[in-house]
Amino acid sequence: MNYKLLFAAAAASVLLLGGSTLAQEKKQLAFVVNASSDFWKLAEAGVNKAQAELGDGYELQFRYPAQGTAALQNALMDDLVAAGTDAIMISSADPKNSIDAFNKVAAQVPLFTTDSDAPQSKRIAYLGSSNTAAGVQAGEEMVKAMAGKEGKCMGFVGFLGADNAVERITGFKQAIEGKGIELVDVRGDDVDFTKARTNVDDVLVANPEINCMVGFYSYNSPKIYEALQAANKLGQITVVAFDEDPVTLGAVKEGNFVSTVVQQPFEWGYQGMKLMAAYLGGDKSMVPADGLIIVPTAVINKENVDAFSADLKAKIGG
């Protein structure tokens, strides 16, 4: 019997098994978003920064669902759990109707939310903006811009029932109450970009009394810009935006939009991954008693848009 060959084969087996064990010990963390939108590039950059700092002991995934629906998101989470993912952070497309799905995942791995919370679920914590406070900021910007003039505003958003949308709208209404400004209606589009544009076009034709608009989701304001430009009404309708789409920032710089209320999705990705890594390591000190980790929002206007844009480019590598 060739004992040298047997020994070599046994040693190779140990190496292979050892390598497999090491691979399995690598912690798998996933960040799941609600739609394929440029807004999420900053969060992805934050996840990449966290990966560089956490090192080879972690594998971080940034996942887009095939479409922005709760069913596909929840199926994606099930797939991640089945594949051995150790913790998940999600921006839910429909948190109110995803409680059972969230609880199913939360029973197997630590689950965190971002952007749009699901406080009735068994998620561990929410890390993101206070959407109500962001809505108040947007409303205050509209009040300043209208400068005492009566306003008939139309809002545009993706998911009308999502918590982040409801809270932004609520905050906006709080800020404009008693100021001679009315939010006449909010049109939803279910993250259908074509419908988002059509919604604005329809309002311009059917509602000539509208003299102010609010884009509550990141892509809504660029669609407002496109529609106003096509109708030769840029500058004639007062617009307050949300988030930092390049078209939105350009419109703010031009003076065609008053301002935009921005979140910090880079920090959601970065802090979210560090939070989950710490939690898996047994450190739960970063989770507050109320389960809310609020990352502040900011107002970007003509005075600070250049500095903000330069910072964005630095974070996403240009």
Would you say 177 and 138 are in contact if contact means Cβ atoms under 8 Å apart? no
Report pLDDT for 2: 47
Which part of the chain is CATH 3.40.50.2300? 18-129+265-287, 131-262
Mean pLDDT within 1-14: 45
Mean pLDDT within 235-263: 96
Fold adopted by 18-129+265-287: Rossmann fold (3.40.50)
Residue 12 has pLDDT above 70, yes or no: no
Predicted confidence band of residue 51 (pLDDT cuts 50, 70, 90)? very high
Q: Output the CA–CA distances (angstroms, integers) from residue 253 to 177, 257, 262, 305, 307, in the order listed.
A: 28, 8, 15, 6, 11
The SS3 assignment for 264 reads: coil
Mean pLDDT within 118-137: 96
Report pLDDT for 21: 44
Q: Convert the pLDDT of each residue in 198-222 to its tens digit.
A: 999 999 999 999 999 999 999 999 9
Question: Can you give the pTM of this predicted structure?
Answer: 0.78
Mean pLDDT within 181-198: 96
Report pLDDT for 318: 55
Measured in residues, the chain has a length of: 318
CA-nearest of 134, 93, 316 to 242 is 134
Mean pLDDT within 154-181: 94
Tokens of 220: 């809504």
Tokens 């958003």 belong to which residue?
A: 157
Mean pLDDT within 157-174: 92
Tokens of 142: 């509209």
Report pLDDT for 251: 98
CA-nearest of 208, 212, 213 to 223 is 213
Beta-strand relationship, 126-128 and 292-294: parallel
End-to-end C-alpha distance for the chain, whole angstroms: 63
Q: Cβ neighbours of residue 58 under 8 Å, at least 6 residues apart?
A: 26, 27, 28, 29, 51, 273, 277
Q: Convert the pLDDT of each residue in 271-287 to its tens digit.
A: 999 999 999 999 999 99
Phi, psi of 128 (to 5 degrees): 170, -160
Q: Output the CA–CA distances (angstroms, integers) from residue 96 to 118, 119, 130, 159, 160, in the order listed.
A: 7, 9, 17, 12, 12
CA-nearest of 265, 261, 247 to 62 is 265
Looking at domain 131-262, its CATH class is alpha beta
d(CA 181, CA 285) in angstroms, rounded, equals 44
Residue 20 has pLDDT above 70, yes or no: no
Mean pLDDT within 182-194: 96
The SS3 assignment for 234 reads: coil
Tokens of 30: 């996933």
d(CA 307, CA 170) in angstroms, rounded, equals 30
Phi, psi of 215 (to 5 degrees): -100, 105
- Mean pLDDT (the chain, rounded): 91
The one-letter amino acid at 24: Q
How many CB atoms are closer than 10 A to CB 99?
16
